[in-house]
Amino acid sequence: MGTIISKTGCYIPAFAVRNDEFLDNSFIDNDGNPFSKKNQEIIEKFSSITGIKERRYANNNHNTSDLATFAALKALEDDDVDKETIDYLIFSHNFGDTDFGSKQSGLMPSLASKVKSNLNIKNPNCVAYDLIFGCPGWLEGLIQAYNFIKAGAANKCLVIGAETLSRVVDKVDRDSMIFSDGAGAVIVEKSDSKNGVIGYKSVTYTDNNEIDILNFERSYDSKDENKYIKMKGRKVYEFALKKVPEAMKECLEKAKVNIDDIKKIFIHQANMKMDDAIVKRLYSLYNKKIPKNILPMNIQSLGNSSVATIPTLFDQVLKGKIMNHKLNKNDLIVFASVGAGMNVNAMVYKI
């Protein structure tokens, strides 16, 4: 018995925000002081490091659960998918539903229950719950779905990752340019195929002050008492560069898969420079050079939508929407992510 991703879908908001639209922002540092550099220079450096040229923001009347519903409908739109046979609806996000212009997040009822209602799923045995696991949340949901199916507790699961991070960014913080909105969804189900999930690794680190390097904290503006998504960029980079390759290597070893057989790596689209460095570090652990064209990316135009980045990218590659990247039957791929917690996970999957 195997566990496969049978259907995928994503929702990418239409509203694109280019880098030059931040030229008039009043950026300040974490001590509340303005930068000596002009915004043009700040933005150019930002783009050279992250690779981001633009990002997507949700329509003002759409919330995180709406984006998730749109992505789920894409995954369910084929006639052979009976939504009433879904055993678990697992929805990963980090900030709940935050209405445009509001400073409060809505977490009750769960967003998973909202999506189940939006999809008009009547079956009470379809258990819907939220998963908050930082940026690796969608992949952790996939891991949970795999284990439900492996244990005989489920035959089919819907796993969603969605965010509206544009609602929780501090506009005086340079890092606000990183974050974006979006949603991705997959149908995971039991299969007679030997393809699908081969192995995984999941870890949480809290023993060396990792708990604070991605957080929800006060604005850098002392007059603003609201909290926003905050990160210590250098520490996140150093943590990810060490821990993610380690988890990926252990995952490959547990799955008894040779790194030379991996065709693509789908890593959380956090920062282009960081993602490149993580993959290079992974191959250096095997004393190998990173192969060409192994790392598809969409961060350039979509930004960092946290839990939505991997399922969105995976859907786009499967459907031929990322230039020079495609997947074929029996290809071995790796999913990997890192984020607040600090959580890291990885999975080996056979198409």
As beta bridge partners, residue 204 has: 343
Out of 62, 93, 268, 325, the active site residue is 268
Token output for 338? 């890192």
Residue 135 is among the residues annotated as catalytic for this protein: yes
User: Of residues 135, 251, 271, 343, which has the active-site annotation?
Assistant: 135
Taking the CB of residue 218, how many other CB atoms lie within 10 A of it?
Answer: 13
What is the C-alpha separation between 113 and 127, in angstroms, rounded? 8
Comparing CA positions, the residue from 73, 95, 97, 91 lying closest to residue 83 is 73
The backbone torsions φ and ψ at residue 28, rounded to the nearest 5 degrees and listed phi first, read -135, 160
CA distance 34 to 22: 15
Query: Whose CA is closest to 237, among 206, 272, 211, 198?
Result: 272
Phi then psi for 67, rounded to 5 degrees? Answer: -60, -40
Q: Please pick, among 94, 271, 298, 304, the residue that the annotation labels catalytic.
A: 304
Q: Which of 351, 319, 347 is nearest to 141 (CA)?
A: 347
Of the candidates 283, 301, 300, the one whose C-alpha atom is nearest the C-alpha of residue 292 is: 283
DSSP secondary structure code for residue 342 in this structure: T
10 is catalytic: no
Could you give the angle at the alpha carbon of 13 between the alpha carbons of 8 and 18, nearest 5°? 130
Tokens 């980090």 sit on residue: 94
Kindly provide the b/e burial profile for residues 264-274, where b requires at least 16 CB atoms within 10 angstroms of the residue's own CB.
bbbbbbbbbeb
Catalytic residue IDs: 135, 268, 304
